[in-house]
Amino acid sequence: MIDPPMTDISKKSQIYNAAARLFRKKGYKATSMQDIANALDIKAASLYNHISSKQEILKFLLINIADAFTSGMKDIEESSLDDIEKLEQLVILHVDLTLRYKDSIALITGEWVHLENPYLDQYLKQRNQYEKRFLTILKRCQKHSHIDAKINLDIALFSILSSLHWLYNWYNKNKSISKIELSRQLKLILLKGIINI
C-alpha cells in the first residue's frame, strides 16, 4: 500500500496539526508516532521523512506559541496606547492566540514539562519574560492610580493569566460566542475588578 501524497508545503503542518490534536486529547507521553501516523492515514516510517522525533514536534508547537506571545507583547508595549489599553490588548492577544492555535495552546498548561533542553530553558525564559512584562504594565497602572494600591499585583497577574491560560478548555464547549464578544466579556470580567473607573 502506498501512502497518500502530501504536498511539500503542507507535510509538516499536517503532522504538527495532527500531533497537537492528539497531545491535547491523550497527552504527549501517551501519544505515539504510530498514533500520529494513524491520524494522517500514513505509515509511521513516513513521518521520519519530515521530522526527526516526537520531541521535535513538541518543541515546534511550544516555541511557536511562545514566539507568538513574545511578538504580541512587543507590539503592544511599543504601541502608543495607554497602559489600561495595553492591558486590554493583552487580553485580546490571548483570545486571538487561543482561537488561532486551538489545539497546541492547550500544551502551555502542562505538557510543556516534557520539553527537553535546550528548548525547555528557552520556553521557560520566554514565558517568564512575558509574565514580567505583563506585571510591569500592571505596576505602571497602579503607580498612576489606575489600580487600587491595596491590590496585590502578583495575585492579580496570577488570576488573569490563569483564566486566560485555561480559556481554550472553556471555549471548546462554548464556540457559539464570537471572538469580539469573548474579548469584550473577558476585558470586563478580568480587568474591571482591578481598574479604578
**Structural domains of the chain in order of their starting residue, each with its CATH number:** 11-47 (1.10.10.60), 54-191 (1.10.357.10)
pLDDT of 1:
34
pLDDT of 197:
57
Q: What is the mean pLDDT of residues 64-79?
A: 97
Average per-residue pLDDT for the chain = 92
Q: What is the mean pLDDT of residues 20-41?
A: 96
Confidence of residue 91 (pLDDT cuts 50, 70, 90): very high
**In the predicted model, is pLDDT for residue 123 greater than 70?**
yes
Q: Please report where in the chains the cell 528557552 appears, as a residue.
A: 122
pLDDT of 192:
87
Give the sign of the dihedral formed by CA 104, CA 108, CA 111, CA 116: positive
Q: What is the mean pLDDT of residues 34-59?
A: 93
Q: Please report where in the chains the cell 500544551 appears, as a residue.
A: 107
Q: What is the mean pLDDT of residues 140-144?
A: 96
Calpha distance 103→93 (Å, rounded) = 16
Q: Does the predicted model carry a pTM greater than 0.85? A: yes
